Amino acid sequence: MRILYVGDLVWCGTSLQRCRALQDLGCEVVSLDIYDGVEMSQQLSFPARVMRKLGLPMDLAGVNRHIVAAMHRQTFDILWLDKGLLIKPATLRAARALQPACRIVGYSPDDMYGKHNQSRHFLQHLPLYDMFFTTKSYGVAELKQLGCPRVEFVGNAYDPHTHRPMELTAHERAQLGGEMGFIGAWEREREHSIFRLAQAGKRIRVWGTGWQRTRRRHEKSRLECRDLLGPDYAKGICSFDINLCFLRKLNRDLQTTRSIEIPACGGFMLAERTPEHMALFEEGKEAAFFSSDDELVEKAGYFLDHPEERRRIADAGRQRCITGGYDNHGRLKLMLQKIPMIS
């Protein structure tokens, strides 16, 4: 199967991980990076930020032109757009005219009904997809409402090359981890929960961007205010006794990539209780869940005091990731089977 894969192929991103998984599955993949050769300063420049705010993100790398050029050079079975906010409707119409049998497939791990995740191009070209995959169960009906003819829900995934148990030195554990940790961006609800844990005497360490906005600080919480990326992200998970899994309220998450990556690394996960989390992992055996800050504080205290039970649950959670086919390879294999191909 020949695939023209278009996405943000930054070295530590999930888009690149999916691209490589398709290659692992035996697909012949030609990849186009939407920011190829574009400096971060250009991406964050004032004009680029203004256009993004207006819903018209700038195609700084000329990816629309490169898609059409690639389809002039080679025949593809699938044109895969990983959150294709930069892709113009005219580009997809040209692709369809050049190769009518090529299936146009979209994927996004984000809430694409939310305006903060959309672009005008995206809303205009949605009717041109042959298939769109969303990790938001509620997104199926919503994307169809926006005009996408065929939408499928798929669970989040982990990259087995990155998200795996890692042997750490005592120095690495001290540098990255601690009793309890969260790796992710600031959100007000997350700030409140972390403050409650600290108030209850629990030491917690937080990695991620945006935490300088925190208004309520506590001596028990350590805010690093920077990301952990790639192998360091996996090492961070492995260095905590308890990994917290907060969901992003802005995206209406019922599960997220973190929901799979933590157990895949062999980390113990204490996550928000949702129907999708409970379908992915058996409560009390493969992960632990909470529905309120009071329950979060109670569960955190219990599992800090019961390391053997914590270890059994973490091991079972990782096994569930493996047997459940939660890796990119398993998820993508199912996705490829669902795409309506023309023989």
CA distances (Å), 268 to each of 105, 158, 182, 231, 292, in order? 35, 16, 12, 18, 19
CA dihedral sign, ordered 221, 316, 257, 63: positive
Number of domains in the chain: 2
Q: Is residue 343 part of a domain?
A: no
Residues 332 and 307 in one domain: no
In one-letter notation, the amino acid at residue 155 is G
194 shares its domain with 282: yes
**Residues 258, 134: one domain?**
no
Same domain, 74 and 118: yes
Co-location of 219 and 263 in the same domain: yes
Domain annotation covers residue 162: no
Residue 116 forms part of a structural domain:
yes
| Domain at 96, CATH number | 3.40.50.2000
Task: Decide if 231 is inside a domain.
Answer: yes
> Do residues 263 and 317 lie in contact, with contact meaning Cβ atoms separated by under 8 Å?
yes
Say whether both 196 and 105 belong to one domain.
Answer: no
Q: Which residue has the tokens 């930054």?
A: 10
Tokens of 314: 């973490």
Beta strands in 252-303 (DSSP E): 269-272, 288-290
Q: Quote the domain boundaries for residue 219.
A: 170-323
φ/ψ of 177, rounded to 5, equals -120, -150
pTM for this entry: 0.94
Question: Packing angle between helix 257-264 and helix 307-323, nearest 10 degrees?
Answer: 110
pLDDT digits (tens, 9 = 90+) for 141-158: 999 999 999 999 999 999
Measure the CA–CA gap between 223 and 144, rounded to whole angstroms.
Answer: 40
Residues in the chain: 343
Is the domain of 128 the same as that of 208?
no
Q: Is residue 211 part of a domain?
A: yes
Question: How many other CB atoms are found less than 10 A from the CB of residue 192?
Answer: 11
Residues 4, 76 contacting (CB under 8 angstroms): yes
Predicted local confidence at residue 40, as pLDDT: 87
Which residue positions in the chain have pLDDT lower than 50?
none
Same domain, 97 and 34: yes
Q: Residue 129 and residue 256: Cα distance in Å, rounded? A: 24
Is there a contact between 77 and 51 (Cβ–Cβ < 8 Å)? no
| Contact partners, residue 227, CB within 8 Å, separation at least 6 | 207, 208, 209, 233
Based on the fold, state whether residues 97 and 191 are members of the same structural domain: no
The three-class DSSP label of residue 329 is helix
Measuring CA to CA, how many Å separate 161 from each of 17, 168, 187, 284? 9, 17, 29, 27
Residues 196 and 261 occupy one common structural domain: yes
- Residue that has been written with the tokens 């108030």 in this structure: 199
Question: What three-state secondary structure class fits 8?
Answer: coil
| Exposure string over 258-289, b if 16+ CB within 10 A, otherwise e | bbbbbbbbbbbbbbbebebbeebbeeeebbbb
Do 36 and 60 form a contact (C-beta atoms < 8 A)? no
Decide if 250 is inside a domain.
yes
What confidence score (pLDDT) does residue 96 get? Answer: 97
Same domain, 263 and 133: no
Domain assignment present for residue 163? The answer is no
Together in a domain, 181 and 150: no
Residue 73 CB neighbours (<10 A): 7
Residue 61, domain member (yes or no): yes
